[in-house]
Structure 1
């Protein structure tokens, strides 16, 4: 099988491991306390609910959190999967890899049958060791990725690389931040490693001086768990996209096959709130062709370098656009990502229902009230035919966050037009919000 699906799983049904927390843990700085580590572990376990869609058709799915079979059955109906073995609730206060180390029978079941095994990313427990993990640990660094981008950019018209510096100490970073703010400059502050918006902050002059200066602001961002403690922060140029509401944040995804060939998957427009990824739209027309070609050419060049250093598997390059609609690469992710799930869903729907699908993911759609998985399923099942009437297919992705203090649900919508996606998203937003008003009326 040609193309990225063949490079990813050979077109075969695969075993999916929800090892998000395992991957993230290897990049948490030593100074992060136990309580924050526990919160990050819990967040990773929730996000691992997306593991059901790590490839076009799973055969076996292993999830750290407890997920009811009804969610997998919903996806299986819509995506025309065969029977899927689900093992959930495998890990709670430990990573999935550590949990599997204590469950040899399940580990043997995963290995049985010789199916391809795909996970969120490579770790010591899965796919670890050798040049692949070395490449992950090198280029997941925003400093190393920036060096690679700067090296490649000269050969790629339409690409502009923001300047970046790494002050030796936090005190020095604070002084540099304050000096830039005094000149009216906005700066992006980054930890060398970070995921899901953690480790990145956009600092405006107004915010810095309102906080009492650079040192006070960095202390606050650390206390708020936006930035990790310790030295080594990166300061990066803020790219101003101007007044355009769309096409601020783009992604290009690709797969490096076992033979080292780079297979493009596609480009998508991400929804980002501040520095926090919220979801993506992929499919025909999601990104204008000229921007998509620019992102693909540069992303393939990045992939060739990653392949030369031994990396195999999924990766992406994220971009922001400037006022001239040039693309500024901001980071590389040598793993699956939220957009990867959207691309997988699009490929599967195009295969079983015919080409032309747009897919939009909503990673954390707020709910107006806390709901158990059973109640959440009933709520979404009532919305399913209403979405269908608008021309959209509703797919649940993260059902375990409905009972969190800030309840939410991860969803995907698929349709053949952006208008249908917009209408279905508006319907879901209104219905989710109305849950709170409904329960208030019962008080």
Structure 2
């Protein structure tokens, strides 16, 4: 059983590692520990990451010059296709005959594997992962969650979106979800007939329709070990409805690992018990590794919304806390468990100062003429003061913030894409995650003022993505 970070790193460094993800930030614990040799992603790495972590980054956005809503699957496949098209005289030359171990953020897609085979890369993968179709479809997943004892919001699967009937059944506000989707994509709050028209145009039904519950959104990481042990990790408040940061309803806008200290202890304890029960049910089916459980707190009653059976957009930040505490990061434990190496050690579940906040572009397509610089900053006298290089939470002091994933000048931004990710030890939102604090509002305003955005006169070629 692997219990120390040194032992885990030695095991994972035996073969150069490869990860495929939406943005390199999501695998930061693997980068910090030197476990990755290559990262293929949609968004590019921030300045200085290649030198800091000794890895090669291959991304779609720097080549296309567009930050849009390209999916993870399509983005990674396009990057690999471009590497192959470059041939041996270009960046593709470093892949032929190379052996890489997949350190998965999410499951390898068949088209990625085929592209790597075409490049002549020898890929070492975890043993065949258990495929649980019931968890891939939100409609089937909700029914399965209830079958193992979880309490969920009231819901129905409907082939037709009839506002009059749905309002009669669920009230003036209800939530419509497409069967697939993550990070809030495909999730819609409906209050009138007009909200249903664009959902119908896109299609994707039958839809899962749920009653809307006004409450705090809480996420729990859970680790299912190779020996079937289930461990519940630190909770975080999910920032999904913060006004003033440009996010539509349900869109993932970050998390706060300190805010759970201000929530009802009984509600958190109940959520933890449910998460453990779900983990035990998944373990019995053969599932291994991390999964995330999303709850909404209805007073002291946690309602389970859905599971994310993979690493999550908050796993990297949890890993930063774990590294600061000299603990084995959950991201490394996840990969080791997938390879069948059981990991030991009880995780901490206490609240801790760690926040990430995603600020999005509002308005039509634009080109970035100027943008604030990334790295470590401090807000002083109403201005952002650059304090040096910063890659995540570990560089932050109590009053600092790190700015990540800022678009380069010349990049085209489509509506709703992230402008910047703010990382800090101090809170930026109210405890329920619904509004910016005064310092958070000031920081967001200063950041937005640092952008110069030029409207585009001609349509963007990839605009169909949004």
Q: Which residue of 2 aligns with 1:234?
A: 208
C-alpha distance in 1 between matches for 2:268 and 2:3:
18
The root-mean-square deviation of aligned C-alpha atoms, in Å, is: 4.4
2:154 to 160, 163, 166: 163
Q: Which residue of 1 aligns with 2:148?
A: 152
Q: Does 1:201 align with 2:188?
A: yes
Q: Does 1:272 align with 2:272?
A: no
Q: Does 1:18 align with 2:5?
A: no
C-alpha distance in 1 between matches for 2:10 and 2:137:
30
1:132 to 106, 118, 129: 129
Q: Within 5 A, what are the aligned runs for 1:35-434?
A: 47-53=22-28, 55=30, 57=33, 58-65=35-42, 67=44, 70-72=47-49, 76=52, 83-89=54-60, 94-97=74-77, 99-100=79-80, 103=84, 106-107=94-95, 111-112=99-100, 117-124=103-110, 125=112, 132-135=129-132, 137-153=133-149, 160-167=151-158, 169-170=159-160, 173-174=161-162, 177-182=163-168, 184-204=171-191, 207-208=192-193, 211=194, 217-223=195-201, 228-241=202-215, 248-273=216-241, 274-283=249-258, 285-286=260-261, 288=263, 289-322=265-298, 324-351=299-326, 357-366=352-361, 371=368, 375-377=371-373, 383-385=385-387, 391-397=399-405, 399=407, 403-406=412-415, 408-415=418-425, 425-434=440-449
C-alpha distance in 1 between matches for 2:37 and 2:323:
17
Q: What is the CA deviation profile of residues 396-430 of structure 1, one whole-angstrom value per residue up to 9, with x for unaligned ones?
A: 24656964144743424232677999676344302
C-alpha distance in 2 between matches for 1:257 and 1:85:
30
Cα 1:408–1:231 shift into 2, 3 Å: closer
C-alpha distance in 1 between matches for 2:176 and 2:454:
41
C-alpha distance in 2 between matches for 1:138 and 1:190:
16
Q: What is the CA deviation profile of residues 249-293 of structure 1, one whole-angstrom value per residue up to 9, with x for unaligned ones?
A: 111112333343333332110111322121111148556443332
C-alpha distance in 2 between matches for 1:232 and 1:129:
34
The total of aligned residue pairs comes to 371
Aligned with 1:132: secondary structure?
Answer: coil
C-alpha distance in 1 between matches for 2:374 and 2:226:
43
Deviation at 1:432, TM superposition (A): 1.4
Could you tell me the TM-score, scaled by structure 2's length? 0.65
Q: What is the CA deviation profile of residues 189-241 of structure 1, one whole-angstrom value per residue up to 9, with x for unaligned ones?
A: 1212112222221222xx13xx3xxxxx5333244xxxx41431122222233
C-alpha distance in 2 between matches for 1:424 and 1:84:
36
Contact 1:256–1:313 (Cα < 8 Å) also in 2: yes
Aligned with 2:387: secondary structure?
Answer: helix
Deviation at 1:106, TM superposition (A): 5.0
Cα 1:314–1:266 shift into 2, 3 Å: same
**Which one has a larger percent helix, Structure 1 or Structure 2?**
1
Cα 1:95–1:5 shift into 2, 3 Å: farther
Q: Which moved more, 1:8-17 or 1:263-272?
A: 8-17
C-alpha distance in 2 between matches for 1:4 and 1:179:
56
Query: Is there any run of 5+ residues in structure 1 with no aligned partner, and where?
Result: 20-46, 77-81, 154-158, 212-216, 242-247
Q: Which residue of 1 aligns with 2:338?
A: none
C-alpha distance in 1 between matches for 2:262 and 2:3:
20
C-alpha distance in 1 between matches for 2:300 and 2:210:
19
C-alpha distance in 2 between matches for 1:178 and 1:10:
60
C-alpha distance in 1 between matches for 2:44 and 2:386:
20
Contact 1:279–1:363 (Cα < 8 Å) also in 2: yes
C-alpha distance in 1 between matches for 2:94 and 2:398:
42
Contact 1:358–1:418 (Cα < 8 Å) also in 2: no
Cα 1:388–1:117 shift into 2, 3 Å: closer
Deviation at 1:337, TM superposition (A): 1.9
Cα 1:96–1:437 shift into 2, 3 Å: closer
Q: Which moved more, 1:374-383 or 1:312-321?
A: 374-383
Cα 1:66–1:199 shift into 2, 3 Å: closer
